[in-house]
């Protein structure tokens, strides 16, 4: 309300509205919610073009009429739809290291900082009407689901084609085609064979059931292929006896690593453009806030894997320079009671260990890498 009060006071002092009109608008805002500027326009107290001209001068940023502005669909991929809806913003252009964002409130430093952190670009703000931004979000992000996970080298899908569903097979997750566009300097040795993963996803993923799951309100970013991909990653880790899963974004690459017997192994390279979709899916499964990208979050995934076997995944999401990193610790409750003979020791070592445990003094040190 403090921001609304300052804006209202400025509008009154400039002569655009009266004190009585401001009081009525603030009362309406208190009961119905919404932004003060939009309420003033709705009540007929000020014309929208005059309000935008005033805000443009106050904030020192240009006013853009989105109804007349041609937006390049390729720029949309830099801002996820949930963030655009949360902050009432719309990416409209990118030039070099600067991205231009249309905003209802260009003074929202939290939104600007979030966009800077998320994209790595400098942000140039322009002001636009809330109605125009909402309609533009519907128009462009309605077809943005086809942009999220395109193959490298393919042309961006035309925004607004909502009838064309995104289709991803396991071949889309291979490293093929990334070499020219993205010089991947990471060790990709041991990347899972595409055919094997395809069979894993389509053959066994039906046995997985998420016991507790947040409702998916961002369908443009998370679709069936992404769900199958994430489920496949979890299933493969569980069947291999992995202790941890690392999903890591870098400047020019996006990889999945498993911790097995204490050592990390790169098992999969993914197209960078599906990074947000994969992270969002993990957050949904963990009942985390998918719109929060600046703060660490912790959650849990509980999966039933066929029969009665249940796996728990402790999930940690941490912001990094190139996006959010996910680390999952696997907990198999069926293996909590371990037999000493199944720890990998030889017969002589088991005998020595039992003798040490039977002594009423001293200690047994358990050391080694995590996992």
Task: Supply the DSSP string of 313-331, one letter for each residue.
Answer: EEEEEEEETTEEEEEEEEE
Read off the pLDDT of residues 55-99 as tens digits, 9 standing for 90 and up.
Answer: 888 778 898 888 888 888 888 888 888 888 888 899 999 888 889
- pLDDT more than 90, % of the chain: 14
Strands 98-103 and 122-127: parallel
Q: What is the predicted pLDDT for the residue at 329? A: 94
Q: What is the predicted pLDDT for the residue at 297? A: 94
- Structural contact between residues 266 and 255, judged by C-beta atoms closer than 8 angstroms: yes
- Structural contact between residues 277 and 155, judged by C-beta atoms closer than 8 angstroms: no
The answer on pLDDT for 176 being more than 50 is no
Read off the pLDDT of residues 218-266 as tens digits, 9 standing for 90 and up.
Answer: 444 445 678 888 888 998 888 888 899 999 998 888 999 999 888 888 8
Read off the pLDDT of residues 271-311 as tens digits, 9 standing for 90 and up.
Answer: 888 888 899 999 999 999 988 888 999 999 988 776 667 88
The CATH number of 170-335, from 3.30.450.90, 2.30.30.30, 3.10.50.40, 3.40.50.720, is: 3.30.450.90
Please tell me the number of Cα atoms within 13 Å of 140 on its side-chain side.
28
Helices (H), 121-205: 130-141, 194-204
Read off the pLDDT of residues 10-43 as tens digits, 9 standing for 90 and up.
Answer: 888 888 888 888 888 888 888 887 778 888 888 8
The answer on pLDDT for 136 being more than 80 is yes
CA gap 172, 303 in Å, rounded? 25
Alpha carbon distances (Å) from 177 to 157, 248, 284, 371: 18, 20, 30, 34
The DSSP letter of residue 107 is T
Query: What is the reported pTM?
Result: 0.42
- Structural contact between residues 49 and 62, judged by C-beta atoms closer than 8 angstroms: no
């Amino acid at each position: 309300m403090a921001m609304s009060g300052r804006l209202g006071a400025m509008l009154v002092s400039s002569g655009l509205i009266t004190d009585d009109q401001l009081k009525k608008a603030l009362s309406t805002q208190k009961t119905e919610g919404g932004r003060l500027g939009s309420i003033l326009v709705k009540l007929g107290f000020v014309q929208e073009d005059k309000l935008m001209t005033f805000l443009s001068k106050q904030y020192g940023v240009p006013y853009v009429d989105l109804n007349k502005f041609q937006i390049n669909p390729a720029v949309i991929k830099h801002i996820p739809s949930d963030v655009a809806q949360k902050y009432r913003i719309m990416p409209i252009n990118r030039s070099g290291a600067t991205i231009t964002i249309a905003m209802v409130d260009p003074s929202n430093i939290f939104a600007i900082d979030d966009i800077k952190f998320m994209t790595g670009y400098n942000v140039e703000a322009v002001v636009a009407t809330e109605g125009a931004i909402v309609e533009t979000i519907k128009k462009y992000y309605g077809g943005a689901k086809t942009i999220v996970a395109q193959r490298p080298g393919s042309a961006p899908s035309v925004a607004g084609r909502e009838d064309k569903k995104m289709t991803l097979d396991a071949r889309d997750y291979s490293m093929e085609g990334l070499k020219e566009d993205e010089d991947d300097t990471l060790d990709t040795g041991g990347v899972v064979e595409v055919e094997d993963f395809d069979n894993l996803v389509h053959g066994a993923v039906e046995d997985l059931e998420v016991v507790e799951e947040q409702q998916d309100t961002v369908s443009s970013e998370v679709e069936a292929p992404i769900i199958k991909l994430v489920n496949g990653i979890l299933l493969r880790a569980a069947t291999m006896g992995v202790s941890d899963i690392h999903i890591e974004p870098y400047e020019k690459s996006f990889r999945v690593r498993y911790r097995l017997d204490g050592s990390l192994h790169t098992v999969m390279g993914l197209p960078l453009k599906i990074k947000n979709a994969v992270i969002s899916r993990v957050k949904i499964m963990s009942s985390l806030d998918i719109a929060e990208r600046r703060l660490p979050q912790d959650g849990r995934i509980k999966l039933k894997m066929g029969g009665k076997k249940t796996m728990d995944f402790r999930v940690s999401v941490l912001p990094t320079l190139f996006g959010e990193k996910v680390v999952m610790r696997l907990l198999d409750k069926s293996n909590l009671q371990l037999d000493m003979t199944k720890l990998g020791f030889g017969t002589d070592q088991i005998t020595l260990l039992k003798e040490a445990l039977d002594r009423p003094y001293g200690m047994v040190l358990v050391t080694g890498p995590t996992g």
